[in-house]
Amino acid sequence: MAHFVIMGCGRVGVTLAHTLDDAGHTVAIIDQDDRAFRRLRRGFSGQKVSGVGFDRDTLERADIANAYAFAAVSSGDNSNILATRVARENYHVPHVVARIYDPGRAEIYQRLGIPTVAAVRWSADQVLRRILPEQGINGDFREASGRLILGEVSVHDQWYGHTLADLEEASGIRVAYVTRFGEGMIPAPGARLQQGDVLHAMMAVAATGEIDRILSKAPATHDPDDEEIQ
Measured at the alpha carbon of residue 15, what is the angle toward residues 127 and 17, in degrees to the nearest 5?
85
pLDDT digits (tens, 9 = 90+) for 1-44: 899 999 999 988 998 999 999 989 999 999 999 999 999 999 99
Rounded CA separation 113/140 (Å): 23
d(CA 26, CA 6): 11
Angle, helices 103-111 vs 77-89, to 10°: value is 10
Average the pLDDT over each of 51-65, 67-81, 102-116 and give the range with the smallest value.
102-116
Structure confidence at residue 144 (pLDDT): 57
pTM for this predicted structure: 0.59
* Cα 135 to Cα 115: distance, rounded to the nearest angstrom: 15
The count of residues in the chain is: 230
Q: Give residue 217's pLDDT.
A: 86
- For the chain, the C-alpha Rg in angstroms (whole number) is 19
pLDDT 10s digits, 165-220: 999 999 999 999 988 766 788 989 899 998 878 888 888 878 877 888 888 888 87
In terms of Cα–Cα distance, which of 198, 164, 165 is closest to 182?
198
pLDDT for the residue numbered 227: 46
Please report which confidence band the pLDDT of residue 122 belongs to, taking 50, 70 and 90 as the band edges. very low
Contact between 49 and 28 (Cβ < 8 Å): yes
Whether the CB-CB separation of 181 and 111 falls below 8 Å is answered with: yes
